[in-house]
Amino acid sequence: MRTQPAPAMSTALDLIAIGRVSVDLYGQQIGSRLEDVSTFAKALGGCPANVAIGVARLGLKPALISRVGDEPMGRFVREQLAREGVETRGVRVDPQRLTSLVLLGVRDEQTFPLIFYRENCADSALCEDDIDEGFVASSRSILITGTHFSLPNAASAQRKAIDTAKAHGARVILDIDYRPNLWGIGGHGAGESRYARSARVTDVLSSVLPDCDLIVGTEEELHVAAGIEATLGAICRIRALSSAVIVCKRGPRGCIVFPDRIPDALEDGLVAAGLDVEVYNVLGAGDAFLAGFLSGYLRDEPHEVSARLANACGALAVSRLLCSPEFPTRAELDHYLAYGSSHRALREDSRLNHLHWATTRRDIPKTLRVLAMEGRSELRQLALRRSVPVERLARLEALAVDAVARVAAGRGGFGVLLDGTHGAAALRDAERAKLWLAQPVERPASRPLEFEAASLAAHLEPWPAALTVKCLCLYHPDDRAELRAAQERNLLRLAAACRALQRELLLEIAAGGHGELEESTTARVLSRLYELGIRPDWWALEPQPGASAWERCAAVIAANDEYCRGVLVCGLDEPPERIARALALAAAVPLVRGLVAGGSILTGGAQAWLAGEKSDETATVEIAARFAALVEVWSTVRDPRLDRAERSAN
């Protein structure tokens, strides 16, 4: 029986998803049994949470109602939801239970072993008290899932949410989301199973169908909801119980939508053909499909449009490994719908991959003022001349971090470029101070470019996620062909490693010391590297000979990567009047977003400090004063209006 809706009220949210949320651990050895997997990639999972993230990436305003544990994995879930734009007021912290955990693997395109660790987990304890009526009333729709009707307390919570939503004129969306072993059918080892007959499940779901406005499920899920193992018969049975729009998911074949009367043949419904892509991992693809459909449905688009969006989202997700981290953003989805892909394995499409990366990476301040601890060779030689243990340089790094933190005084947009050799303590201090962080990978002064480590992947993998990879390349466009080829090979290796390990890249180009620095020199380098497919998150460029040179660089970047975070001016170890002029030229260009300073700021007093002639506090104050003076020069020449507007990532 439908509740009579109250008059419509203004709402702050588009969707509240209710139910499962987990930490998913995906086996990274594709083709292996779970028994043989040795490393895992962590991601946020669970059908409602996945859908909430999916619609957020497509520009809607979702929330989640669930529970997590009072432990690191619970904090990861809440923090990741917030980063994705999902409202977390409804995600309660359960002090008695742990966050749900799932282990998943990929054997082949038909076999996806899966184990749910859900014994007395936090989200299974969802109850009526977790459903705040005012919160539910603030949304235009709610998403309920079949799985959470398997638990009496969670079922009561979802029914309360349904009643509240209907009373306030909101839509009720059901994802049947049938996992037999979560209903106690098949045992713990049957996590991969998607269908098993169950009269109990049919009875429970049948009682929910009349209150729904949209029902989404695979053919097998529609069978269990109706208790009929023939798809057309099942859909007819559901229509007898509900006037909801029914969406039948058919995997690679796409979907069929039934908005009203059920025709005499399935194919007489509104058919939206699937897209021909390689199936890499089906886990989570249905959640991406639903997010895509809702991005149209909740905007009142025609069902044909919603189905097209759904199929495209499902295709992008099924071609990648993880669940929600792999779901598309609006920019990525629009590009795919407009241009398609020449790759059947979509994960091999470099343009789509770049769009995905650039529109899902972490938010950071738009402008940066960075102190570089990088006079590695110079400082080490200084320490050796003074017979000071090189390890003492780690203390100097810590002092420099303290100095930058003092200048920042809690403001965003300040950072440090650490040495990476002795800086573990400095790294921890910088993280606590909430500074932007980067660390070099190149061998100092190498030309052609070489790296400190033999294996880039092994070197970068242990780095903290927020640590940006910095690389200086001494590259001039008029270098001999053999030298340029050697440089480019290593830059391509670096770019590939950064993307594979999800590390941001700050690429510094220095051409001036290796040939004539003309107005077009640096722009020519940038053009060549973009031609190779190298798209760093940041560029660091030396002072240019004139305004035209900066404008040419900005034009090349804008033409090749609209999502580039920007350019930082580096190489500022010059007399004050020359630094002021260099910064004034750069600051006039909107795409220049700050500076990287080092050189004399650190080495100026390092010799006396290393010799014990200055205290830690004196050295810190001096470093802070020199850095603050340079920051003040930038602030004086930079028009603050250039840093106000922020581009949307989606």
Q: What is the mean pLDDT of residues 261-286?
A: 93
For residue 7, whether the previous peptide bond is cis, meaning omega lies within 30 degrees of 0, is no
Beta-sheet strand order (sheet of 22-27): 40-45, 22-27, 100-104, 114-117
CA distance 574 to 367: 22
- Total residue length of the chain: 650
| Confidence category of residue 4, pLDDT binned at 50, 70, 90 | very low
In the chain, what are the domains?
15-358 (3.40.1190.20), 368-643 (3.20.20.70)
Amino acid at site 365: P
| Confidence category of residue 220, pLDDT binned at 50, 70, 90 | very high
pLDDT for residue 646 is more than 90 = no
**Count of helix runs (H) and strand runs (E) in the chain:** 21, 21
What lies within 8 Å, CB to CB, of 20 at 6+ separation is 46, 47, 48, 49, 66, 100, 123, 145, 147, 148
CB atoms closer than 10 angstroms to residue 364: 17
**Exposed (0-12), middle (13-18) or buried (19+): which is 299, by Cβ within 10 Å?**
middle
CA distance 561 to 81: 27
Proportion of the chain above pLDDT 70, given as a percent: 92
pLDDT for residue 299 is more than 60 = yes
**Strands 254-258, 414-417: pairing kind:** unpaired
Amino acid at site 584: A
pLDDT for residue 6 is more than 60 = no
Quote the Cα angle for 579-510-557, to 5°: 90
Q: What is the pTM of this model?
A: 0.91
CB-CB contact of 154 with 19 (8 Å): yes
CB < 8 Å & 24+ apart, contacts of 352-358: 352/316, 353/499, 354/535, 354/561, 354/563, 355/329, 355/331, 355/563, 356/326, 356/328, 356/329, 356/332, 357/499, 357/502, 358/535, 358/537, 358/561, 358/563, 358/649
**Strands 254-258, 270-273: pairing kind:** antiparallel
CB-CB contact of 101 with 23 (8 Å): yes
Digit-coded pLDDT (tens) for 547-588: 999 999 999 999 999 999 999 999 887 788 889 999 999 999
CA distance 132 to 126: 12
Type and span of the H or E element at 292: helix 285-297
Residue whose pair of structure tokens reads 């594709």 in the numeric block: 30
pLDDT for residue 383 is more than 80 = no
Which residue in 279, 265, 271, 213 sits closest to 236, CA to CA?
265
Residue-level pLDDT at 5: 41
φ, ψ at 224 (rounded to 5°): -70, -35
Q: What is the mean pLDDT of residues 25-50?
A: 92
Count of alpha carbons within 13 Å of 102, Cβ hemisphere only? 26
Helices (H), 464-587: 481-500, 521-531, 547-560, 576-587
Higher local confidence (pLDDT), 649 or 471: 471
Which residue in 601, 595, 598 sits closest to 619, CA to CA?
601
**Exposed (0-12), middle (13-18) or buried (19+): which is 366, by Cβ within 10 Å?**
middle
φ, ψ at 444 (rounded to 5°): -55, 135
| Confidence category of residue 649, pLDDT binned at 50, 70, 90 | very low
* 264 token code pair: 């005499």
**Exposed (0-12), middle (13-18) or buried (19+): which is 353, by Cβ within 10 Å?**
middle
